[in-house]
């Protein structure tokens, strides 16, 4: 009975998944911090596995340290999402520092993908900074947006300019909740555009830490008119895919 591990070393967090006989046995998560390799070593402490595969921004550091194979985030997410939802053909992942839209066929083969990793626009980091600018915790940000009475158009997706725009709106007396909704809408418009370019097919799996934001999921469904499937632990989809691939490599 082979036991395999997948580690997703992202810009914001590190996720570890262990699978046995193709099923999740357990998972762990920690912050990437300023020294992701040391934190990756820590998260692996006491974990037993026969094979391991790495994905994410820090996969090449891990490859050198552990002499382990690696896989791109795109492939890892495709495999992980397909395992969780066999009927899926479209995947959206919004993580800390990038956004990925992926189209796959019945066999899970990648047909097309788009990835925004050049700036924080439309990512978890963007939402985190905007929440702080409005005085919310990231956990409360989505709920605040859902309570808004109107949607305020946010013209800039650049984090620096958007923060300046938020400050200006607050100075004009606009409600924080309404601004929060406008910011969520701006992220959804960007994500929806990426999904449309890779060919949307229902249902859509929404993965990554941002999928925990209830407002994001609600707006995505309304914007696209699509069924949205969110894994129980949306942040570990990439690590799951890497673990499954480790067992077949």
The 10s digit of each residue's pLDDT in 145-202 is 999 999 898 887 777 788 899 999 999 999 999 999 999 999 999 899 999 999 888 8
Report yes or no: 203 and 168 within 8 Å, Cβ to Cβ. no
* Euclidean distance between CA atoms 139 and 1, whole angstroms: 39
Provide the pairing of β-strand 204-207 with 90-94: parallel
> What value does the mean pLDDT take over residues 108-112?
95
C-alpha gyration radius of the chain? 18
> What value does the mean pLDDT take over residues 131-157?
92
Query: 102 Cβ partners below 8 Å, 6+ apart?
Result: 74, 77, 78, 81, 90, 91, 92, 93, 110, 112, 113, 198
Same domain, 189 and 248: no
* Euclidean distance between CA atoms 160 and 121, whole angstroms: 10
Same domain, 169 and 242: no
Same domain, 81 and 91: no
Q: What's the confidence (pLDDT) of residue 120?
A: 66
Range of the structural domain that residue 29 is part of: 1-85+233-249
Q: Residue 57 maps to which CATH number?
A: 3.30.420.40
Beta bridge partners of 20: 3, 23
Q: Is the pLDDT of residue 84 over 70?
A: yes
Please give the share of the chain, as a percent, with pLDDT higher than 90. Answer: 84
Same domain, 210 and 99: yes
Helix axes 73-84, 237-248, angle to 10 degrees: 90
* Euclidean distance between CA atoms 204 and 211, whole angstroms: 12
Report yes or no: 13 and 235 within 8 Å, Cβ to Cβ. yes
Query: Which phi and psi (to 5°) does residue 30 adopt?
Result: -150, 165
Same domain, 63 and 116: no
Q: Assign 96 to helix, strand or coil.
A: coil
Same domain, 96 and 74: no
Q: Give the number of domains in the chain.
A: 2
pLDDT band with cut points at 50, 70 and 90 for residue 116: confident
Cα–Cα distances in Å, from 204 out to 82, 84, 90?
11, 12, 5
Same domain, 220 and 138: yes
Same domain, 67 and 142: no
Same domain, 71 and 118: no
> What value does the mean pLDDT take over residues 83-95?
95
Size (the chain), residues: 249
Same domain, 216 and 109: yes
What is the pTM for the complete model shown? 0.92
Same domain, 239 and 225: no
Same domain, 12 and 38: yes
Question: What would the two tokens of residue 234 be?
Answer: 């949306």
Tell me which residue of 246, 244, 239, 249 sits closest to 43, measured CA to CA: 239
């Amino acid at each position: 009975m082979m036991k395999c591990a997948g580690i997703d070393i992202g810009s914001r967090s590190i996720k570890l998944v262990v699978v046995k006989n193709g099923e999740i046995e357990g998972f762990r998560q920690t912050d990437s911090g300023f020294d992701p390799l040391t934190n990756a070593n820590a998260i692996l402490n006491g974990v037993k596995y026969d094979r391991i595969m790495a994905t994410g921004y820090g996969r090449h550091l891990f490859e050198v340290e552990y002499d382990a194979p690696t896989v791109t985030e795109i492939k890892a997410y495709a495999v992980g999402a397909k395992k969780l939802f066999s009927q899926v053909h479209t995947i959206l992942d919004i993580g800390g520092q990038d956004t990925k839209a992926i189209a796959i066929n019945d066999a899970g083969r990648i047909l097309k993908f788009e990835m925004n990793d050049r700036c924080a626009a439309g990512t978890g980091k963007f939402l985190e900074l905007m929440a702080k600018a409005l005085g919310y915790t990231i956990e409360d940000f989505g709920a605040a947006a859902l309570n808004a009475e109107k949607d305020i158009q946010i013209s800039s997706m650049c984090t620096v300019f958007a923060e300046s725009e938020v400050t200006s709106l607050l100075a004009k007396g606009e409600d924080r909740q309404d601004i929060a909704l406008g910011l969520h809408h701006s992220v959804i418009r960007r994500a929806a555009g990426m999904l449309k370019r890779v060919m949307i097919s229902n249902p859509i799996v929404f993965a990554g830490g941002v999928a925990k934001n209830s407002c994001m999921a609600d707006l995505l469904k309304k914007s696209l008119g699509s069924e949205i499937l969110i894994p129980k632990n949306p942040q570990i989809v990439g690590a799951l895919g890497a673990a499954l691939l480790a067992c077949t490599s």
